[in-house]
Amino acid sequence: MSLDFNALQSLPESIGRMTQLRELSLRHNPLVWTDQCNAGLRNLSRLEVLDLSFCSLGRSTRLSPLNALRMLFIRSTGIERVPEWNWRSSDLMLLDLRDNHISDITTQALALIDRSLSDNRLNIHLNGNPLSVQTHERIRVLREQRYQSRLGISHNRLLHQETPALKTWLGSASGEQLAARTELWHNVQDCSGSTDFFQVLSDLTTSADFFNDRKALTTRVWTMMEAAAENGELRRQLFDLAAHPQTCGDGLALIFGDMEVRVGVFAITSSTPEAARPLELFKMTRSLDRLDEVEKIARRDIALRMKSNKTVDEAEVRLAYRTGLQVRLGLASRSRSMLFRTLAGVSDADLDSAYREIIARESTPAFFESLIARELWMDYLETRYAHEFEPVKRPFTERLAVLDELSPDMQSDQQYLDRVNQITKERMRAIKACAIKLSIQLSDAVNAGPQ
């Protein structure tokens, strides 16, 4: 449920009765957080994601721990201390505390966080807080021991640097190109919500691609800048992705890669000739699915290492799989290199096994189910092949019309709802079957062509 930008000053009482709620977003509301709010949330035993970012909670706000919660976002809410939490007994995996007034984290609080980190669960992000010198030192020691990529404070912000100077990404540009890129930079920078986007560009200067192939990365950055300037909806999506919590230099490469995927999808849907668009968009969707499978395999590898009590840098392992399989699988990500490959411990045999697993999956129903679960792909199919879906949908539309025409004395309200739900379920199954049929046809056409 999203109640963003609703000028809410308190938590609606009705939310406390929504016991099946799993995600709740209350971003950008002038909330006054009280014990009553905490009491309301305690009834939400299945709540996994709570987003209070940019709510004016205030410095002394206290949030009661919710053991089922997996992600808590309280960025830029004015709080001045890390929330008290049941660190060891909760399922919390991500805590976003960026851009608050937190200056001190006690040794005791860090010890509790340390225990949760050592259980390989929690990622905590503190960028943009006025942390004291003593707290920085405590965090530095903690990061250097085992958990550098899981306690997020970007190096640029630690040094209180501004967003990178324009010249960082101008490279060898001169003349008309220099003037055009300078204007482009400032135009995007002036757009509302651009701060995190430019922070990603700043943090990219610590990535392997910046050191190993700066020229190519510079081209990629300007390609994205041009796309962001040309389309407002794409720009909004890129800004949202840039707001993702940062990890280390290679973690930022993952975020930038996701942003490039959005640009690629936009390019296909806006500029590819209509005749070629179905196959090209299928390739992009398949690439996204393959990328997800690579992530699953990487996380499985990480979990096995953790089970064996091995030290593991999660971002490095994930990036090792991405870069190692990028060419063979045509992944929708262009990060080519890594900083800390020796930390990843991903062998050629691991990559070969992952490749075979992913290719084999693409002949299974699970693959096509995954494709049509993607909103972008399903929306495109229903629009491009409307003539295929119309006869599939028509019988269900007619059945609903007949149901609506029945007089109230022929069915109760509950009977009406039950019948509508049944027709809706049958309709969705029929639409999915049609979408899978079309996806299989396009898959066969792509596989029959040049690879």
257-296 per-residue burial string, b: 16 or more CB within 10 A, e: under 16: bbbbbbbbbbebeeeeeeeebbebbbbbbbbbbbbebbee
Note the pLDDT of residue 120: 47
Note the pLDDT of residue 87: 62
Q: Which carries the bigger pLDDT value, residue 183 or residue 118?
A: 183
Catalytic site residue 248?
Answer: yes
Average confidence (pLDDT) over 267-278: 84
The 10s digit of each residue's pLDDT in 369-382 is 999 988 778 888 99
**How far is CA 357 from its chain centroid?**
24
Q: Give the pLDDT band (50/70/90) at residue 438.
A: very high
Helix (H, G, I), strand (E, B) or coil at 329: helix
Note the pLDDT of residue 209: 76
The 10s digit of each residue's pLDDT in 126-147 is 878 888 888 877 776 765 554 4
Q: What are the residue ranges spanned by the domains of the chain? A: 13-150, 164-362, 372-448
Average confidence (pLDDT) over 337-358: 81
Note the pLDDT of residue 162: 41
Which homologous superfamily does the CATH classification assign to the domain defined by 13-150? Answer: Ribonuclease Inhibitor (3.80.10.10)
Average confidence (pLDDT) over 357-366: 96
pTM recorded for the entire structure:
0.56
Q: In the predicted model, is pLDDT for residue 51 greater than 70?
A: yes
Q: Measured between alpha carbons, how far is 197 from 242 in angstroms, rounded to an integer? A: 5
Q: Which of 37, 55, 191, 248 is catalytic?
A: 248
Helix (H, G, I), strand (E, B) or coil at 160: coil
